[in-house]
Amino acid sequence: MCKRHMHEVMRAAVLDALMPWDVVRELVSLTSDMMAMRRLMDRTEDEERAAQREALRRLGIDENKRKLGVVYYLSLPGNRIKIGRTINLKQRMSSLRVSAEDVLAAEPGGSALESTRHGEFGHVRHGRREDFDATPELMEHVEQVRQKWGDPWSLGAA
């Protein structure tokens, strides 16, 4: 049942007194809890956006030009690393269906930096894809990026 029809059925059940009052009270209580959770989520999202703005400010990146995005290093099965870029790290990782801990590092940059990184590690690249063998050389680079730029999620480029 779609959301709109569910609301119509619930409204009719409550207003037409088809639903017992103890169930109505429980629904009101749950609704109150859900609204409180939503307010907390909104506050958390606002705090996350503020933290990202502060990280960009510290890095000297104009917030209005942040569409530059990040180049990220993602751990893949088979001892491989994906080098990609995005303007929204959280959304990109969600679309790839990977966990947060699989994101090893990120650095501010766009397509030019991504191409440079692909060229640097082209000798361990798999075909035309963006995945590379996790050689000691590549892993050392990933660690250097992590040390320089810190937690990849602080650069999230939301």
Considering only residues 94 and 25, tell me which one the structure prediction assigns the higher pLDDT.
Answer: 94
- In the predicted model, what is the mean pLDDT of residues 99-111? 89
Q: Residues 49, 71: one domain?
A: no
What total of structural domains would you count in the chain?
Answer: 2
Closest CA to 105 of 69, 60, 74: 74
- 139 and 103, same domain (yes or no): yes
Q: Are residues 74 and 137 in the same domain?
A: yes
Residue type, 118: H
Question: Quick check: 142 pLDDT over 90?
Answer: yes
pLDDT one-digit tens code per residue, 42-85: 777 777 777 777 777 776 665 555 456 899 999 999 999 999 99
- 51 and 76 co-located in one domain: no
Share of the chain above pLDDT 90, in %: 31
141 — pLDDT class (breaks 50, 70, 90): very high
Domain boundary residue among 14, 42, 58? 58
| Domain extent at residue 34 | 3-58
Strand partners, 85: 71
What confidence category does residue 133 fall into, taking pLDDT thresholds of 50, 70 and 90?
very high
Where does 10-154 show beta strands of DSSP type E? 70-76, 80-86, 103-108, 131-133
pTM over 0.95: no
